[in-house]
Amino acid sequence: MTSALYSPTAGGSAAQQAGHPVPKPIDTDHVAELISQLLTALGEDPTREGLAGTPARVAAFYDVFLSPDPSTATCFAETNLSGQLVVVGGMSLWSLCEHHMLPMNLQVTAGYVPRDEVVGLSKFGRIAQRHAGRFQVQERFTRQVAEEIANVIGSPDVAVAVRGTHLCMSMRGVRMEQARTDTVQADGRFETDPVLSQQFLTLSTSQWKAA
């Protein structure tokens, strides 16, 4: 297991800061053709029974998976929660490692200190899914989710912790079945207040143990 702490990046969208532009529309016909060529290169017959529909199915999968819900998060005015620590966990998402194009499972916990507004709880999952639905690396994903939440609430007091299980580690090389990678983005008060940071990390760890 490895850990990393990332500092906030000022200005611009998360995608722009990471050099990760919004993907272009997917050409499913071309993808299906390429998958057919890949099967041939791997020594298979893409026209045989069982594989005949595989290129089209794979193309359809990429079309759906890489086109996540673009809806934005909603905030609600709620002054009674101002200053409290709000932690949302239990988010389990799948993304695709851009190094090997293999799946990675991401367990996400997000925390923030609301000022004048709180974020609808279901919106955290949409924010995370939007950034997971592309070719990713876990470190960038963690930062992008934190930055979008900060933009939504209008405050830098945001922390995001992610525990990832990468099939590129589980399926290849030494095949470390239980290998995990933890990443944390701690901004605003979470970066400067050790008590608040520890509270968040404790709650994040408990979420992962319960999963």
DSSP the chain: -B--EE----SS-HHHHTT-PPPPPP-HHHHHHHHHHHHHHTT--TTSTTTTTHHHHHHHHHHHHTS---PPP-EEE-GGGTT--EEEEEEEEEEEETTT--EEEEEEEEEE--SSEEE-HHHHHHHHHHHHSSEE-HHHHHHHHHHHHHHHHT-S-EEEEEEEEEHHHHSSTT--TT--EEEEEE-THHHH-HHHHHHHHHHHHHHHHH-
* DSSP collapsed to 3 states, 70-118: CCCCCEEECHHHCCCCEEEEEEEEEEEECCCCCEEEEEEEEEECCCCEE
pLDDT at site 168: 83
pLDDT tens for each residue of 148-203: 999 988 889 999 999 999 988 877 665 566 678 999 999 999 999 999 999 999 99
pLDDT at site 118: 74
pLDDT at site 74: 52
**pLDDT class of 146 with cuts at 50, 70, 90:** very high
Tokens of 184: 């944390």
**What average pLDDT score do residues 76-102 get?**
80
Q: Give the angle 39-41-43 at the CA atoms, nearest 5°.
A: 75
pLDDT at site 145: 96
pLDDT at site 175: 59
Q: Which of 37, 59, 60, 58 is nearest to 47 (CA)?
A: 37
**pLDDT class of 207 with cuts at 50, 70, 90:** confident
Region for residue 5 given its phi and psi (left: phi exceeds 0; alpha: psi -120 to 50; beta: otherwise): beta
**What average pLDDT score do residues 104-108 get?**
94
Say yes or no to pLDDT of 57 above 70. yes
**Any idea which fold 73-210 has?**
GTP Cyclohydrolase I, domain 2 (3.30.1130)
**What average pLDDT score do residues 14-22 get?**
50
Please state the domain extents for the chain.
Answer: 28-65, 73-210
